[in-house]
Structure 1
Amino acid sequence: MGQSQHQSGSGPFRADQLHDGDRYELSNGHPIYCAPAGPEHASRSLTGAAVIASDPDVEWVGVDAGFSPEPGTLRAPDVAVAAPPSGRGWIPGVPLLAVEYASVGQDEADLQTKIGELLRGGSRAVWVVRLLGPRRVEVHRPGEPMLLATVGESLTAPGILRNPVPVEALFEHAAADRATLRNLLQRAGYTDLEAVREEGREEGREEGRETGREEARAGLADAIMTLLAVRGLEPSPAVSERIHACRDLDQFKTWLLAAARVTDPTRIFD
């Protein structure tokens, strides 16, 4: 959520003059103050980030990550999907997919400018999740009219996300949990939790029940570790050992969902 004066002409500032933690974006060299997010904005954006980060085809997701397509521009979408960045500093270019949550105090003029800058820079889609009024998501793509998706519909991002994202999953924790669990199980090679149980039963019948269950548990442990790695989180050896030592499939389900939201793996898994 940015606030600017929408000045014309080029401003005097460059992206390399801003530092990690500065509460500013840049548009054509002009600073845009980014106010702290309110409780609903912060909670909903984390919900959406969990669903998107867990998608089986996503390699990297950033929350408020700074992208600089040119020296006078620095934009930090609420959620961004991109190739894994290399090196330090602001990420060159723009994300493949950007998600913005628009709530109280949203500067609409700057939002439209931001959308235009991202699309012109090469973003394939920008989703604007409207937290005021009826639940809806605006879908912006280069050279196409804006589309509106509402409750009961799903959003797709071919070539970026493998699975459709239900509109509700960008608003509601329960819907987000269902989509996230589906994604995490697919990362481990399963269609759903029942497929995990069925593999355990089938392997149990053919090779010994415990062997089948052990392979299922190992797959779920790998899914948790993969998601933490995608989110840039490295669990301690003690946490890693506890995850791989777990024998409870229901505990794995709880941990899979926690891995999509946790910022410190030690607090959840240790």
Structure 2
Amino acid sequence: MRLEQRTSIDGPCTAEQIREEDRHELSGGQRIYCAPAGDRHSRHNLGGGLLLDTDPDVQWAGVDTGFTPKPDTLRAPDLCVAAPPEETGKWVPGAPLLAVEYADRGQNEPDLQIKIKELLAAGTRYVWVVRLAGPQWVEVYTRDSPMRRLAATDTLEAPGVLRNPVPVRALFDRSAAHRLTLKNLLQREGYEDLEAVLREGARKGRAKGLVEGEAKGKATGRAEGLKEGETKGKAKGKAEGLAEGEAKGKATGRLEARIEALLDILMARGIDVDATTRTRIRRCRDQEQIGIWLAKAAVANRAEEVF
């Protein structure tokens, strides 16, 4: 709560008569001037607003939002969490679920206590007063319980309003506020904390690496397989070619030997063979035909009996 001073300007009035630029609250129809925030107040206000607004269960949070539980009352907590208003540009009817006030040196304590009572009476569940001067502590006010004072090592809770506990230190320490804000934001995205994000990143990275590695492995294996297959194919083809060539060579050799044997038999038996017949014999590649001629030549007396 910034420095406040009750005034009697224009006498009693209603919330509808207060304009946003007037910098006034209203209690029982009496105006209460609210001075601008100092450097310490504004800095803590910003950090606290971030950690409240990002809580996973918070749908709406505001800074210096004016609430009107009654026509003659207008209260604007430094920070608040409330059900989403209609956002008509006017004061919000009723009261917030959670109100936070920052109290520094020069705080008007009687007015602060009146404000707390009015908020609780209007339906506010929790009022946190953050004491910026002196030892770091937060006062917790609820409707049906005595005020509790929590130290910097304690934790604030607001069941039904906030999901995550708020370390008191986070309302004073900027780094602690940032850590809780980050946790809240991660939970809004479905992650419990930063470690969960890192684990998810590692899992996705591993899965992506496996896919890429498999693809590269297949490509490399295919290339190596083609090369190895080509080498083996060449070797096998060469071996088969040699074997086939050798077989053909042997067959050709046997055929040529039988042709020479046929010509020798014809000559031995005194059977003349003209050039045409001799060419026919040498060009023949039919083993069976050569065999027939050999059998006939062995008993023939003339060439006509053989061919």
Fold-level match, TM-score > 0.5?
yes
Q: Does the CA-based 8 Å contact 1:2-1:32 persist in structure 2?
A: no
**Aligned 8 A contact 2:55 2:163 in 1:** yes
2: CA distance between counterparts of 1:2 and 1:115? 15
Point out where structure 1 has 5 or more consecutive residues left out of the alignment: 212-270
Q: CA deviation at 1:12?
A: 1.7
Counterpart amino acid of 2:178? D
Preserved contact between residue 26 and residue 32 of structure 2 (Cα < 8 Å): yes
Q: TM-score, normalised by structure 1?
A: 0.73
Shift, 1:173, TM fit: 0.4
Whole-angstrom CA distance in 1 between matches of 2:210 and 2:193: 20
Partner of 1:186: 187
8 Å CA contact 1:97–1:126 kept in 2: the answer is: yes
Runs of 4+ with >3 A deviation? 4-7
Q: Distance in 1 between matches of 2:194 and 2:34?
A: 41
Moved more, 138-147 or 19-28: 19-28
Structure 1: distance between partners of 2:16 and 2:101: 23
SS at match of 1:55: coil
Given that 1:15 and 1:74 are in contact with CA atoms closer than 8 Å, whether structure 2 keeps it comes out as yes
Residue in 2 that maps onto 1:197: 198
Q: Rg larger in 1 or in 2?
A: 2
Q: Residue 160 of structure 2 aligns to which amino acid in structure 1?
A: G
Percent identical pairs in the alignment equals: 56
Partner residue in 1 for 2:152 = 151
Paired with 1:194 and 1:3, the residues of 2 have a C-alpha distance of: 45
- Alignment pair present for 1:65 and 2:65: yes
Say whether residues 1:111 and 2:112 are aligned partners.
Answer: yes
How many Å separate the matches in 1 of 2:134 and 2:204? 50
Written as runs of structure 1 = structure 2, the 5 A alignment for 1:35-184 is 35-86=35-86, 87-184=88-185
Q: Secondary structure at the match of 2:13?
A: coil
Contact 1:169–1:179, Cα closer than 8 Å, also in 2: yes
* 1:140 partner SS: strand
Count the aligned residue pairs.
207
Residue 30, structure 1, aligned to residue 45, structure 2: no
Deviation at 1:55, TM superposition (A): 0.5
Between the aligned partners of 2:82 and 2:156, the Cα distance in structure 1 is 18
Larger RCO (CA under 8 A, 6+ residues apart): 1
Amino acid at match of 1:34: C
C-alpha deviations, 1:130-159, integer Å up to 9, x for none? 001100000000021000111111000000
Give the superposition deviation at 1:88: 2.8
Q: State the distance in 1 between where 2:6 and 2:184 align.
A: 41
CA distance in 1, matches of 2:105, 2:7: 19
Counterpart contact for 1:2–1:106, Cα < 8 Å? yes
1:254 is aligned to none
Alignment of 1:233-252 (within 5 A): none
Q: What is the CA–CA distance in structure 2 between the aligned matches of 1:200 and 1:173, rounded to whole Å? A: 28
Cα RMSD between the aligned structures? 1.7
| Deviation of 1:3 (Å) | 2.6
Alpha-carbon distance in structure 1 between the residues aligned to 2:209 and 2:67: 50
| Paired letter, 2:75 | R
Aligned counterparts of 2:198 and 2:184: Cα–Cα separation in 1:
17
**In 2, are the aligned partners of 1:79 and 1:98 still within 8 Å (CA)?**
yes
In 1: Cα distance, 2:20 partner to 2:104 partner: 24
Instruction: Show the counterpart of 2:252.
Output: none
Whether the aligned pair in 2 keeps the contact of 1:6 and 1:110 (CA below 8 Å) is: no
Q: Deviations over 1:43-89 (max 9, x none)?
A: 11111111111100001110001000010000000001001110230
Change in CA separation of 1:156 and 1:6 when aligned onto 2, cut-off 3 Å:
farther
The answer as to whether partners of 1:81 and 1:97 remain within 8 angstroms in 2 is yes
Contact 1:200 1:209 in 2 (8 A): no
